[in-house]
Chains A and B, each alone.
Chain A
Amino acid sequence: MGGDGLFEDVDLTWVKRKGTAFYLLCLASSLFGIVMLGFLILDVLYEAALGPIEFEISLTTFLTDPASRHPEQAGYLGAILGSVWLMVLTVILSFFIGVGSAIYLEEYAPDTRITRLIEANLTNLAGVPSIVYGLLVLAVFVNGFTLGSILLAGSIALALLVMPIIIVSSQEALRAVPSGMRDGSSATGATRWQTIRHVVLPAAIPGIMTGTILALARAIGETAPLIMVGAILSAIRLPSGPFDSFGSMPTQIYYWATAPGPEWGHLAAMAIVVLLAVMLSMNAAAVLLRNRYEKDL
């Protein structure tokens, strides 16, 4: 047998050890986030479970009544309905404007310095702290147009907050439609509008929806702009419509979490569970939507 000692001059021990160390480091980093999320969820679930068990907070009351000064009568429904109203109005206010500007920027706008300036600013807007939007709406709508601290004002703040995100993700979805499809359509004698309506939008809509849902999942947990606009921290009654005063899930959590007395903390934990569940199901819906349509393109 030949070849004995063929590779003796190659020493890989150190290189391999470094490789293993690097691998473990990366693995630990990625686990860190998951472990933290796991602790968070377990802790919240534990605290939430103690509410009904130790303090006899009724789950029915919690889910069917508005908030109250007495912990055993305090419910979350006022805040839940407030958040639902907020989301509905936010979608109406932001979706069409957001998708409209994305279509303009991607399909119509010439590639000029002004277009690029607008796009750069949209990216910057997506990073503006949410409290700033709250301040803007407080100054312009609540005080300026004397709307008062109504639900509509809160949803304007949230709509401004998510609009850049919707625009940017819609732009990405539109950009992902192969240019060959646009060429194919216009070479068949379609006008630009027909091409957008019948080819580009149908192909891009799953991406647009995914982006919008993810943006809303962010908006539903926003607290600061709503406090700024003047949301009622403890929603002691149900909102009647867009022009009513309003509470919301995150502001209710903020109120309960800062209230003195042990029962309030458990109420806050229960409320967090509800908010997390809503948020995670929105994210899941977005992922499902993406997976379902991804293979079609």
Chain B
Amino acid sequence: MSSQEQTQSNAELEIETEIQSERSDRETRADEPVLEVRELDVHYGDERALQPVNADIPEKKVTAIIGPSGCGKSTFLRCVNRMNDQIDVCSVGGELYFHGKNVYDDDVDPVALRRKIGQVFQRPNPFPKSIYDNVAYGLRIQGKTDDLDTRVERALRRAALWSEVEDRLDESALDLSGGQQQRLCIARAIAPDPEVLLMDEPASALDPIATAKVEDLIEDLAENYTVVIVTHNMQQAARISDKTAVFLTGGELVEFDDTTTIFENPANQAVEDYITGKFG
């Protein structure tokens, strides 16, 4: 191993330790849920998009949100990091606690919130910059520019993309395939090390092989992050999630439980119908 590599891996180790200590602070609170949703509802103008939702989302687990199109899955997800604030007609009621703090309190800055709760979108949305600059974007924006190379590499490794791009980090991100672009967006989201990762149907625009890669990745991500994933693919939810929330038409959260319970023994008849394909 050359001395340069040695220094680099030392730097990596340091960051890793630093992050570990951050993490152990968090782990002391591991028993309580990261996100507690209380009577959260959403209106678009006069139209109600989400009935009051109550849910506790556990830390470092994958929570899937499933339901038919237009049932409010994405709307709910966008409430968590207050992306809905950017829609003029959208109004949110109720409370959403992140580590016990209501994110809709007046003293919570949505920009600060989004630095702790990252998001991956349905369609891959890389910036027209190099692969490296895409991943480094959040780090630079947030002023975390020390050991930039190491952090970028670590994010790309966690997103299972490093081996495919390590020798062309300077090339445009737009030259990557759709599946690679989506993993790049995941790397971009996790590079600044948020606690929670929201994913809005991250695999729906991808082919089956790319989907499988992203699914594997999500299970690994749950070792470090709390993942909340919206999907319209029930098999996907069953495969990768620990908890599942089922929304049905009208923006109502009908059932929220362990994934095995939801898929094997749901309490609600409508949920059973939806899961067995009789409805939706």
User: With an 8 A cutoff between CB atoms, is A180 at the interface?
Assistant: yes
Which of B122-130, B160-168, B233-241, B261-269 contacts its partner?
B122-130
User: With an 8 A cutoff between CB atoms, is B251 at the interface?
Assistant: no
CB-CB nearest in chain B for A184 = B125
User: With an 8 A cutoff between CB atoms, is B106 at the interface?
Assistant: no
In the bound complex, residues from chain A placing their C-beta under 8 Å from that of B189 are 187-188
Q: Which of under 10, 10 to 19, 20 to 34, or 35 or more describes the interface residues of A?
A: 20 to 34
B20 to chain A, nearest CB (A): 22
**CB proximity to B under 8 Å, residues A194-214:** 194, 198-199, 202-203
Further contacts, 15 of them, CB under 8 A, given A190-B137, A190-B141: A183-B119, A184-B125, A184-B126, A184-B127, A185-B137, A187-B83, A187-B121, A187-B198, A188-B138, A188-B189, A189-B114, A189-B138, A198-B140, A296-B128, A297-B174
Chain B residues within 8 Å of A, Cβ to Cβ: 81, 83, 86, 88, 111-112, 114-115, 118-119, 121, 123, 125-129, 137-138, 140-142, 172, 174, 185, 188-189, 192, 194, 198
- Whether the pair B192, A183 counts as a contact (CB closer than 8 A) is no
* Distance in angstroms between the alpha carbons of A202 and B111 in the assembled complex: 21
In the bound complex, residues from chain B placing their C-beta under 8 Å from that of A190 are 111, 137-138, 141
- Whether the pair B138, A111 counts as a contact (CB closer than 8 A) is no
* Distance in angstroms between the alpha carbons of A190 and B139 in the assembled complex: 10
- Whether the pair A203, B114 counts as a contact (CB closer than 8 A) is no
**CB proximity to B under 8 Å, residues A171-187:** 178, 180-181, 183-187
* Distance in angstroms between the alpha carbons of A201 and B192 in the assembled complex: 23
- Whether the pair B138, A180 counts as a contact (CB closer than 8 A) is no
- Whether the pair A181, B125 counts as a contact (CB closer than 8 A) is yes
| A–B Cβ pairs within 8 angstroms, 24 of them | A110-B88, A178-B125, A180-B121, A183-B83, A184-B121, A184-B126, A185-B127, A186-B83, A186-B86, A187-B81, A187-B118, A187-B189, A188-B137, A188-B138, A188-B141, A189-B111, A189-B112, A189-B138, A189-B192, A189-B194, A190-B138, A198-B141, A203-B127, A297-B174
In the bound complex, residues from chain A placing their C-beta under 8 Å from that of B185 are 184
CB-CB nearest in chain A for B111 = A191
**CB proximity to B under 8 Å, residues A120-149:** none
Given A194-B141, A198-B137, A296-B172; A188-B114 close (CB under 8 Å): yes
B204 to chain A, nearest CB (A): 14
In the bound complex, residues from chain B placing their C-beta under 8 Å from that of A203 are 127-128
* Distance in angstroms between the alpha carbons of A45 and B188 in the assembled complex: 58
Across the interface, A180 reaches (CB within 8 A) one of B86, B123, B137, B194, namely: B123
- Whether the pair B128, A111 counts as a contact (CB closer than 8 A) is no
- Whether the pair A180, B88 counts as a contact (CB closer than 8 A) is no
> What mask results when residues 97 to 130 of chain A are scored 1 for a CB within 8 Å of chain B, else 0?
0000000000000110000000000000000000
